[in-house]
Chain A
Amino acid sequence: MNKRMTRSVLGVAAAATLLLAAACSDPGSSTTTSGGSVDWPAQDTDLTGTTLTIWAAQNSNTIPDSVVAGFEDLTGAEVDVETIPDPYEQGVQTKVATGDMPDLAFWQPTASQLTALNAKQNLLPLDGAPFVDAYSGGLADMTGLLDGTRYAALITTPAVEGVYYNKEVFEKAGITDLPTDWDSFVALAEQLKGDGVTPFYEMGADRWATQWWVQVQLAEAAQDGLWDRVNANEESFTDDTIQGAVDEYEDLIDEGLFNDDIKTATFEDQGKALLNGDAAMVMQVNSFFGQLQQLADTDELNQKIGFFPISKDGNVGTYIPDQSNALVAFNTGDEDQEAAARQLLEYWLGDGYADFVAAQSTVSLQTDVPSPSDVPQALLDVSASLDGAAGSMQALAVANPDLYINLADMIQGTKTPEQVTEATQQQFAQLAKAQGVSGF
């Protein structure tokens, strides 16, 4: 290569690199959506020729089936449900960050997860939607909001963290009254252990359920503004409240109240253990019940499985909406598409809602639409416990650190309870800082 050639080759390479570097801005950026209310088209407005895309996860991609069929018949629109592979949230976040957007997507309607999608830029505000007033109880104000603006439409009952128990095991042990606070809950477990029954079953290998044990103990504190203080950096995970809950969890494990194979047990093992009566209780959320529904029919479940919420001083449930509970609509920049997306949500929670809850055998969120008769009792109890429930970390904290991984590490013995809260706080601060939360 002669000198001139070298120079021009280098020049071309440099130019190409510069050109690319010039495009070095976040491709997911666009103009901020306005917070004002928007027009909501009639549910049966003709949409022939319009195609709407819904992103769904592997465990939520069949949820829209009845709604999609009904909506396509009514409006002539075409609705594509695209499955984003697991881990769903990461996949969606990465796609949106690189400028790829659907019209609608299943999304956890919590403030932290709405922030993670950069809702103010990327999502359509749903204020003034006709379905907001149709929600029963306090559901409308419970979730789906970020700084006072509604970005997510709740379609099914948010999950509640609480105790699923085997009724037959309780009966055999002569237990008739359910625990009324944490102390009676632990006393009950100790009594069961005395009778030779494994009181609690935890899935240390699959990790994610570990955090429920800490969060349910924080229900009253959460109602008292715990997460607001954590969000403002006025209180830390390492302070007494949260640390105390982690210590308590560790103590219960040390006391031998959990299954012997806590380190290697999985989500599947947990479901089987409770159904077979190998363990008396499991601290879990709604998806656990979904697991049970795959193992047994409604009659068997009604006969065997019960649910009660538990907290430090009483029976306050802790709600944690997840991705399959709600949808968000995207600010795609195309007004017709956006209007069509709103119309679909309107139909979903409007004329299509009765069919939807019937097809899903799920609890209805609306006063005017009754729940179908084949909903298992435990799910009705879960839904009832939403009244007066406290928000989980996911629902109320500005960020969602990997508390569950740190707790699982504690179960494996590689972290102390102090290291659990320290690592969690560190990650929380990092996330809060990245979001530009003041105080971090």
Chain B
Amino acid sequence: MTTMLEPHRAPQEELAPSRAGARPGRRSSSDHPLWFLLPALAILAVFFIAPTVFNFVYAFTDWSSFKSEIGFVGLENFRDLASSGTLLADLRITVVYAILVAIFQNLFGLLLALLLERDTRVNRMARVAFFVPVIMSALAVGYVFQALLEPDGGLNAMLSFLLPGQVDVAWLGSTRWTIVVVALVHAWKWMGLSMLIYLAGLKTISDDVLEAARLDGASGWQLFRQVKLPLLAPAVTFNVATALLGSMNGFDVVQATTEGGPGGTTELLNIFIFRTFGQGLFAQATAMSLTLFLVVALLAFPVIAGLRRRERVL
């Protein structure tokens, strides 16, 4: 496998030194005065650096809607959070949700990409159809599914028509399985994006490689398992990382379908943060979002590093 990848990599390595050699050096400082950067920096500072810094600062204060003064309280917010079980419980739910979404979204995305790989007219139309949910409002998706999954909603009506007897399953009513259902909804919304990236990945696989494998007598499954999947590794990295980390910050779909219920079993950390913020406890909510930020960061580095290593091994 590695020998196969080498020709792809070689040109890039050749390019690297030449790019370094073409560095323009002194010329740039007179052509492009440094203060030209100021507007961009100001925007960066106002919209990116400041909010992030404030997220750190406010977490250590007693900022609330109840009074005007903001005082520093040190680590108190974090101590309170640690002592209440809700943070840990919600963090667990969030991680489970993120893993489920990552699995479903990639599975569906990959299947769709393989199904719609060939550039026929029907496939093009189908691709568009599957991409539509991606550009839909997540809240709208959530409300539509909430209506569909109600005990007297569309899904049960359809099942009742197809199956003997009356079906009245409360799809969003189980304290154990609802998390899977909402993860499926989230994955349904975003699978079109994964599909697109997998399709792009499949397009980069050279026909020569596939032809060679076929000449060697590879079956359809072997072709997929031994050739396509390994060559899709960069797409897998991107898709898994974005699905996992994106759904760690999930909120809209779950808020619209279950609001964290039943019995708090789908209460993602962001829903808890939203609830705390709504109570006027701004500092506590900020402390929680800082915690979430740290957890996502802690998760992101090993996941991405691991997936990249996997790319190299393959």
Contacts and interface: CB of A to CB of B under 8 A. Distances in A.
Interface of A: 2, 5, 8-9, 12-13, 16-17, 20-21, 24-26, 28-30, 87, 89-90, 93-94, 96-97, 115-118, 121, 204-205, 207, 261, 263-264, 402, 405, 408-409, 411-415, 423, 426-427, 430-431, 434-436
Contact of A20 (B41, B45, B68, B172): B45
Contacts of A2: 29
Given A414-B175, A436-B66, A24 B262 contact: no
Interface stretch (B57-65, B207-215, B221-229, B295-303): B57-65
Given A205-B173, A434-B66, 14 more contacts: A2-B29, A16-B49, A26-B63, A87-B278, A93-B280, A96-B65, A121-B68, A261-B170, A264-B172, A414-B175, A414-B262, A426-B84, A434-B283, A435-B66
A263 B50 contact: no
Contacts of B20: none
Which of B173, B280, B283 has the largest count of A CB atoms less than 10 A from its CB? B280
Contacts of A94: 277
Interface of B: 29, 34, 37-38, 41-42, 44-46, 49-50, 53-54, 57, 62-70, 80, 84, 86, 150-151, 170, 172-173, 175, 259, 261-265, 275, 277-284
A174 B262 CA distance: 38
Contacts of B50: 16-17, 20-21
A26 B68 contact: yes
Contacts of B277: 90, 94
A8 B34 contact: yes
Contacts of A423: 86
A118 B66 contact: yes
A5 B50 CA distance: 22
Nearest to A415: B263
A2 B280 CA distance: 47
Contact of A24 (B45, B57, B172): B57
B173 A12 contact: no
* A contact face: mostly helix, strand, loop, or mixed: helix
Contacts of A21: 50, 53-54, 57
A40 to B, nearest CB: 28
Contact of A431 (B45, B175, B280): B280
Contacts of A405: 264, 275
B215 to A, nearest CB: 52
B67 A13 contact: no
A230 to B, nearest CB: 17
A264 B173 CA distance: 6
A28 B42 CA distance: 25
Contact of B49 (A17, A90, A93): A17
Given A16-B45, A24-B57, A402-B275, A435 B29 contact: no
Contact of A93 (B54, B65, B69, B264): B65
B278 A408 contact: no
B63 to A, nearest CB: 7
B42 A413 contact: no
A379 B68 CA distance: 40
B49 A13 contact: yes
Contact of B66 (A12, A116, A426): A116
Contacts of A30: 68
B311 to A, nearest CB: 30
B46 A89 contact: no
Which of B34, B86, B283 has the largest count of A CB atoms less than 10 A from its CB? B34
A402 B84 CA distance: 15
Nearest to A8: B34
A28 B65 CA distance: 9
Contacts of B68: 26, 28-30, 118, 121
Nearest to B282: A97
B61 to A, nearest CB: 9
Nearest to A398: B66
A207 B261 contact: yes
Given A426-B84, A430-B284, A5 B173 contact: no
B262 A412 contact: yes
A264 B151 contact: yes
A434 B278 contact: no
Nearest to B274: A90
